[in-house]
Amino acid sequence: MKPIKVGLLGIGVVGGGTYDVLKRNQEEITRRSGRAIQITMVADLNVERAKQITGGSCDVVSDGNLVVTNPDIDIVIELIGGYGIAKELVLKAIANGKHVVTANKALLAVHGNEIFKAAHDKGVIVAFEAAVAGGIPIIKALREGLTANRIEWIAGIINGTTNFILSEMRDKGLNFDVVLKEAQRLGYAEADPTFDIEGIDAAHKLTIMSAIAFGIPVQFDKAYVEGITKLEAIDIRYAEQLGYRIKLLGITKRMPNGIELRVHPTLIPEKRLIANVEGAMNAVVVNGDAVGATLYYGKGAGAEPTGSAVIADLVDIARVATASPEHRVPPLAFQPGAIANIPVLPMSEITTSYYLRMHVKDQPGVLADVARILADATISIDAMIQKEPGEGANTTDIVMLTHQTQEKNMLAAIEKINALPTVVGKVTKIRLEELT
């Protein structure tokens, strides 16, 4: 059987890793797929570097259009990133009857509905295992392995940069700004780390997982996104005293009135496995009605882990490319006509528990005033730490964990607490999930 010919758009870190793994494991991959898979054409603006990586084994060009319109290319791998030229080339590849493999979570989270429709209309496959959690096969698990389940919720550490920063803050007691600089020095954070530290990268990935889990369109614009830039080392220490770890979580849940879709710092009980995921590692917990909670853990980024996921998609396409489109696994797991228009809930309607820290004057009645405001909002206190003032100090911290309440109720209560003359500064609020 003739080999499958692949065109690669972008041979940077992930592209280079994909090329190396495919070459190194060629025999094993062919045994699995039933056909040889060969990268025969590469497009990259840095033509000389691309030629060095490929060693003259394939055609190298600077214009991606030459790849997506080449009649000899069966599959196009898009590893350019972003929304601009990547979208243009992906749609052009589809229009030319090419299957597409992409690691571009931003593109799919924002333009996935358009891309999936174009692929469906043309009868080609768009595969994207590498777009979420690097080498962890979470997309395949959601689309295929858990297909018998009604997925109830997903919670994931899906950005290695932020998890590394939070791990360092906890281990060394340092504040965010200090650890961010160290992460940049070590190469864990980009020179411009905005997408990571503000939660945008995690929200892109969560949007894709939510669509697959619940059979809804990708709706990145409706996700609630909050990063880690305002987290303080003191809150990480208090959380530990109370038996919790703080992680940046992507959380999506099926609720009676809609779907939750949110990324934010979250307290998790330290006894949960996901709470003990440290450094730049990723982990995703999926809760299904039949299997309960399942955990997927591994490297969420890097040249070869992500390249591994890209090649897994190539093998899948090699296996099913000759099958009629209606017999293939749909991109979002559910048949296109069965995608549901379930609303994504606004953050004000979300119900969860909370960690509250307030810096207050050391005088009688402060705790009673705070407790009264919470009680009036029907918010009950689960646990509390009241620190003794330091020597010569006239202020101290009160830390509380609350039972579940709606976000809008908590925001209203915090506004009243902030207005108390005995409260110094603003209340710090971090959401809490038991993940049971």
Query: Which position has the token pair 């990480």?
Result: 236
What's the confidence (pLDDT) of residue 390? 76
Q: Is the torsion defined by CA of 137, 139, 145, 150 positive or negative?
A: positive
Q: Nearest 5°: phi and psi at 71?
A: -65, -15
Instruction: Look at the block and give the residue holding tokens 């099926």.
Output: 254
Q: Which secondary structure element, helix H or strand E, spans residue 121, and what is its range?
A: helix 105-122
Find the catalytic residue in 98, 105, 205, 247: 205
Question: Is 429 a residue of the active site?
Answer: no
Q: Helices (H) and strands (E) in the chain — how many of each?
A: 15, 17
Residue 62 CA to residue 304 CA, distance in Å, equals: 24
Contact 261, 216 (CB under 8 A): no
Spell out, as residue ranges, where the chain has pLDDT lower than 50: none
Domains of the chain, each with CATH number or no CATH: 4-134+303-338 (3.40.50.720), 138-299 (3.30.360.10), 350-432 (3.30.70.260)
Tokens 């955990």 correspond to 295
- For 291, which DSSP code? T
Alpha helices by DSSP H, listed for 228-302, are 233-241
pLDDT at 164: 95
Q: What's the burial of 355, exposed, middle or buried (CB within 10 Å: 0-12/13-18/19+)?
A: buried
Give the whole-angstrom CA distance, residue 123 versus residue 118: 9
SS3 63: coil
End-to-end CA distance of the chain: give it in Å, rounded. 50
Is there a contact between 259 and 252 (Cβ–Cβ < 8 Å)? yes
